[in-house]
Chains A and B, each alone.
Chain A
Amino acid sequence: MLQVKNVSKEYGGNSVLRDVSLSVKPGEIHALVGENGAGKSTLMNILFGMPVIHETGGFTGEVWLKGKKAEIESPKKAMEAGIGMVHQEFMLLPGFSVAENVKLNREPTKPNWFSGVSGNKLETLDLQKMGSDTRRALDKIEMDIDEWLPLVGMPVGYRQFIEIAREIDKADLSLLVLDEPTAVLTETEASRLLSVLKKLAESGIGVLFISHRLEEVCEIADTVTVLRDGEVIATMPKTETKLEAIAEMMVGRKISRSKTAESGRAIDEGNILEIRDLYVDMPGEYVNGANLTVRRGEILGIGGLAGHGKLGIANGIMGLYPSSGTLIFDGGEIPLNNAQASLEAGLVSLSEDRRGVGLLLDESIEDNIALASMISRKKFLKRVGPLPVSVLDRKAIREHANKMISLLEIKCTGPEQSVRRLSGGNQQKVCVAKAITMEPRLLLVSEPTRGIDVGAKERVLSMIKSLNRENGITVVMISSELQELRSMCDRIAIMYKGRICGILDPDAPDAEFGFCMAGKGGIPSD
């Protein structure tokens, strides 16, 4: 029914999809799996004719629907062609009732006095038909809520089902695309959703299902396609595959690790940081009782799929999101939910949200490097004559910034340039410079290479490595890129559902990593 043929897509020179082909038959549940950045969302956007695709130069390749070549230029065209999409973020109006949301912009209407004159825009809504249509759609997915209840205050799980109801209410729906529909659901809700999807498929609708959760995929999919780095790695019927095999295909990369024996590495057996029973309330990255110890002098990696809490760990430790548990750093306990205390203890974090948290975009490079240290370490201050007042020491800041710019090879017009105008890689270098200036005892690095070019990637990673080797700074590195972790770390902890699922050696086989990321065992954490 749906056939995608040799689709490729580039974003500004970066190819994100290469020669992707897949097909979905009526009544089939087709699962699309892959790591973050594998190109799943881009493929969805192409199928749904999202404007972002056409604004960035379109794509090459063909999409066929029901045996005809389809030109999907806009979401409207996609809808007319019978493609329904359930988005990762809800596209619902909270103040409207369920029925109004389901029928939004497709309301049945009947003529009235005005509409004869002014055309159908002023026709009266046929509320009765709206209600009964919605009821029918809700019944199909076994939802027993009142169709006239407003959406406000409904649990997220309900909203997900209402989105699905909206799609199946469309008369000519033949293909339903779901982008990580279970990401925000509880387990019972998720299993209900899966059974609903099965029923829908039985009624002859094709389902294209994108997910991180491999158990789900194995439970309901008829066919599985694995996408990695924009390429289709394999398409196979579910019966011929196993969870571990899929996981391995998702993460597996040729490993170009050159592990030379390093002399003089002093990794203490003593622990510098102990995390006990940590819970962090970071939306989308919840941590649910993680236990982890970090040895003095090592680089510890934390990996895992998105949404399993690896970012929550760093943000929880730094006191940026509400958390509970125990943190013992260098023998002393650090109070949680207190950013100042974490900083004072010598913990420094390189945020994953570079532009949002890591930088002052409109300020100069030198200020970005120096101000955080000025505030938390009281550096770069000087007295005003005999007065008991300290002000910024501009000269020292400038000198330090110049040193950092040449050390990290930050490409800029000078220390006064505003950070907004720098490329992603150079912005990250400024963040690294800022972190170094804070004189960390333990450095938490989150997604250090996200969105930066190859050259800068290497510079940033080698800088982190040399901080560890030469300055003896313990590093905890959190990354979605397993390859990166394996080339940098001494041990790699894998997170699953907010807990540490296992700690692996970087040389462990791919299968073991796949296993861990899918929540199956590994070596139990301490």
Chain B
Amino acid sequence: MIDSFKQLINKIGLPRLTIILFLVALLIIASVNRLPTSMLLSNSLVRIGMNGVMVLAMVPSVQSGAGLNFGLSIGIIAGLIGMLVVMEFELMGFLGLITALLIACVLGAAAGYLYGLILNKVRGQEMMIGTYAGFSIVSGMCMFWLLAPFKNPEMIWVVGGKGLRMTLAVNDSLAKILDNLWKFKILGVEIPVGLLLAFALACLFLEVFFRSRLGVSMKIAGANPAFATSCGVNVDKMRVLGTVLSTALGAMGMVIYCQSFGYVQLYMAPLMMSFPAVAAVLIGGASARKATVWNAVLGTALFQTLLTISLPVTRSMIQGDISEVAKTIISNTMILYALTRKEGDGE
């Protein structure tokens, strides 16, 4: 009995077990305080689907040996551009979504290629360089948002008429298009089937990829570059490919995020967006050297559920909104914790 319990702890890992127990405690408090538990769960599901693909973007980057992709903002901006182009031309419904995803994917891949070339020159410090690369791109893009040739009056500043607004509302035919696809209710909990399906598809794609010859080559290049070279794998190429995949996934993840959120936020909004994604995959049991699709899925589920539930529960007990504070504390603590560990746990 005790042995099997120990095995369970080993398998899940202490940090995840703590979070799960904390979640259970939160849910109990929520139901005691007569909060709408089913709504909290529905919201959690939506947030898992919204953020999942961006968290998934960490996996190829870590597997190829380039570490956690702190420069995910680069992909996020590619995703924003995809959304903006679709909104400029007022493409509706699924046509709009698919166009946005395509543009995001192409731009993300191109930007990821250049970013990967940079990362190959700064081996061993990818994560620090990535953080600053992300920061610089976000700041640099502030100028682009002002100068970009977007003409749609819905998108540009009302006064002066030049440059994009801070926050743009996604039009109704595009907003929540995936969330509402095949949505159904069970026991009062709304299941956003389309959204979760998109996340699942991305997971499946990565899972298959990492079983293919190319994917295994990438994994080996990350695990032991000398071994990879002796097998005839071009390690530099694999690292670039990993970064390309990561950035493109980040871009498409952003499109999915925006359609669910209903708004496109520009300027400094994407600045810190890579941090919750990094934190989520680390909570899932990944490390800077090893990350699996499972880590991303588990991590997203735990992290987003925690954020969604903790806000109303704490608000019901104490005054004031601590969700942003909680998010910052949890994500940064988790990053700190995980980076001081060499191996991922929960394996």
For the complex, what is the distance from the CA of A389 to the CA of B229, rounded to whole Å?
Answer: 24
Inter-subunit contact B212/A360 (CB<8 Å) = no
Inter-subunit contact B230/A392 (CB<8 Å) = no
Chain A 81-125 near chain B by CB (<8 Å), digits 1 or 0: 000000000000000000000000000000000000000000000
B255 CB–A CB distance under 8 Å: no
Inter-subunit contact A376/B208 (CB<8 Å) = no
Residues of A within 8 A of B227 (CB): 357-360, 372
A390 CB–B CB distance under 8 Å: yes
Q: Which of B208, B212, B216, B232 has the most CB of A within 10 A?
A: B232
B233 CB–A CB distance under 8 Å: yes
Inter-subunit contact B208/A375 (CB<8 Å) = no
For the complex, what is the distance from the CA of A512 to the CA of B331, rounded to whole Å?
Answer: 69
Q: A362-B223, A384-B208, A389-B208 are in contact. Are A320 and B216 (CB under 8 A)?
A: no
Inter-subunit contact B223/A363 (CB<8 Å) = yes
Inter-subunit contact B212/A375 (CB<8 Å) = no
For the complex, what is the distance from the CA of A224 to the CA of B107, rounded to whole Å?
Answer: 71
For the complex, what is the distance from the CA of A357 to the CA of B229, rounded to whole Å?
Answer: 9
Q: A362-B223, A390-B212, A391-B212 are in contact. Are A375 and B217 (CB under 8 A)?
A: yes
Inter-subunit contact A375/B213 (CB<8 Å) = yes
Q: Considering the complex, which residues of chain B in the window 191-245 have a beta carbon less than 8 Å from any beta carbon of chain A?
A: 208, 211-213, 216-217, 220, 223-224, 226-227, 229-234
Find B220's partner among A320, A339, A351, A371 (CB 8 Å cutoff).
A371
For the complex, what is the distance from the CA of A303 to the CA of B71, rounded to whole Å?
Answer: 50
Inter-subunit contact A375/B226 (CB<8 Å) = no
Inter-subunit contact B212/A339 (CB<8 Å) = no
State the Cβ distance, A275 to closest chain B Cβ, in Å: 19
Q: A375-B213, A392-B216 are in contact. Are A357 and B208 (CB under 8 A)?
A: no
A417 CB–B CB distance under 8 Å: no
For the complex, what is the distance from the CA of A357 to the CA of B230, rounded to whole Å?
Answer: 7
Q: Considering the complex, which residues of chain A in the window 338-379 have a beta carbon less than 8 Å from any beta carbon of chain B?
A: 339-340, 342-344, 349, 351, 353, 356-363, 371-372, 374-376, 378
Find A375's partner among B211, B223, B224, B232 (CB 8 Å cutoff).
B232
- How many residues of B are in contact with the other chain, CB < 8 A? 17
Q: Considering the complex, which residues of chain A in the window 388-409 have a beta carbon less than 8 Å from any beta carbon of chain B?
A: 389-392
A1 CB–B CB distance under 8 Å: no
A381 CB–B CB distance under 8 Å: yes
Closest to B233 in A: A375
For the complex, what is the distance from the CA of A353 to the CA of B224, rounded to whole Å?
Answer: 13
For the complex, what is the distance from the CA of A304 to the CA of B223, rounded to whole Å?
Answer: 33
A318 CB–B CB distance under 8 Å: yes
Inter-subunit contact B213/A381 (CB<8 Å) = yes
Q: Considering the complex, which residues of chain A in the window 411-435 have a beta carbon less than 8 Å from any beta carbon of chain B?
A: none
Residues of B within 8 A of A376 (CB): 231-232
For the complex, what is the distance from the CA of A356 to the CA of B230, rounded to whole Å?
Answer: 11
State the Cβ distance, A435 to closest chain B Cβ, in Å: 11
Chain A 193-225 near chain B by CB (<8 Å), digits 1 or 0: 000000000000000000000000000000000
State the Cβ distance, B346 to closest chain A Cβ, in Å: 15
Residues of B within 8 A of A318 (CB): 230
State the Cβ distance, A307 to closest chain B Cβ, in Å: 21
- How many residues of A are in contact with the other chain, CB < 8 A? 30
Closest to A391 in B: B211
Residues of B within 8 A of A375 (CB): 213, 216-217, 220, 231-233
Inter-subunit contact A356/B226 (CB<8 Å) = yes
Find A320's partner among B217, B224, B230, B233 (CB 8 Å cutoff).
B230
Closest to B224 in A: A360
State the Cβ distance, A294 to closest chain B Cβ, in Å: 20
Closest to B212 in A: A391
Q: Considering the complex, which residues of chain B in the window 2-60 have a beta carbon less than 8 Å from any beta carbon of chain A?
A: none
Q: A371-B231, A375-B213, A378-B213 are in contact. Are A360 and B220 (CB under 8 A)?
A: yes
Residues of A within 8 A of B211 (CB): 391-392
Q: A357-B226, A363-B223, A384-B208 are in contact. Are A390 and B232 (CB under 8 A)?
A: no
State the Cβ distance, A431 to closest chain B Cβ, in Å: 11
For the complex, what is the distance from the CA of A8 to the CA of B294, rounded to whole Å?
Answer: 54
For the complex, what is the distance from the CA of A339 to the CA of B233, rounded to whole Å?
Answer: 8
Inter-subunit contact A374/B213 (CB<8 Å) = yes
State the Cβ distance, B48 to closest chain A Cβ, in Å: 27
For the complex, what is the distance from the CA of A327 to the CA of B230, rounded to whole Å?
Answer: 18
For the complex, what is the distance from the CA of A257 to the CA of B27, rounded to whole Å?
Answer: 76
Closest to B289 in A: A362
Q: A357-B226, A360-B220, A375-B213 are in contact. Are A343 and B208 (CB under 8 A)?
A: no
Inter-subunit contact B232/A339 (CB<8 Å) = yes
For the complex, what is the distance from the CA of A296 to the CA of B185, rounded to whole Å?
Answer: 73
State the Cβ distance, A211 to closest chain B Cβ, in Å: 30
State the Cβ distance, B5 to closest chain A Cβ, in Å: 23
State the Cβ distance, B161 to closest chain A Cβ, in Å: 50
Residues of A within 8 A of B226 (CB): 353, 356-357
State the Cβ distance, B215 to closest chain A Cβ, in Å: 8
State the Cβ distance, B3 to closest chain A Cβ, in Å: 18
State the Cβ distance, B194 to closest chain A Cβ, in Å: 23
For the complex, what is the distance from the CA of A343 to the CA of B224, rounded to whole Å?
Answer: 18
Inter-subunit contact B231/A391 (CB<8 Å) = no
Q: A358-B227, A375-B220 are in contact. Are A343 and B232 (CB under 8 A)?
A: yes
State the Cβ distance, A354 to closest chain B Cβ, in Å: 11
For the complex, what is the distance from the CA of A375 to the CA of B220, rounded to whole Å?
Answer: 10
For the complex, what is the distance from the CA of A444 to the CA of B343, rounded to whole Å?
Answer: 34
For the complex, what is the distance from the CA of A446 to the CA of B234, rounded to whole Å?
Answer: 23
Residues of B within 8 A of A344 (CB): 232
Residues of A within 8 A of B224 (CB): 356-357, 359-361
Closest to B226 in A: A357
User: Can you name 19 extra interface pairs (CB under 8 A) apart from A360-B223, A374-B213?
Assistant: A340-B232, A342-B232, A349-B230, A356-B226, A357-B224, A358-B227, A360-B224, A362-B223, A371-B216, A372-B227, A375-B217, A375-B232, A375-B233, A378-B213, A390-B212, A391-B208, A391-B211, A392-B211, A392-B216
Subset of 17 A-B contacts with CB under 8 Å: A320-B230, A339-B231, A339-B232, A356-B224, A357-B230, A358-B227, A359-B224, A359-B227, A360-B223, A371-B220, A372-B231, A375-B213, A375-B232, A384-B208, A389-B208, A391-B208, A391-B212
A residues at B contact (CB < 8 Å): 318, 320, 339-340, 342-344, 349, 351, 353, 356-363, 371-372, 374-376, 378, 381, 384, 389-392
Listed from nearest, the 9 A-B pairs whose CB atoms lie closest are: A340-B232, A391-B211, A357-B226, A339-B232, A372-B231, A343-B232, A375-B231, A392-B211, A376-B232
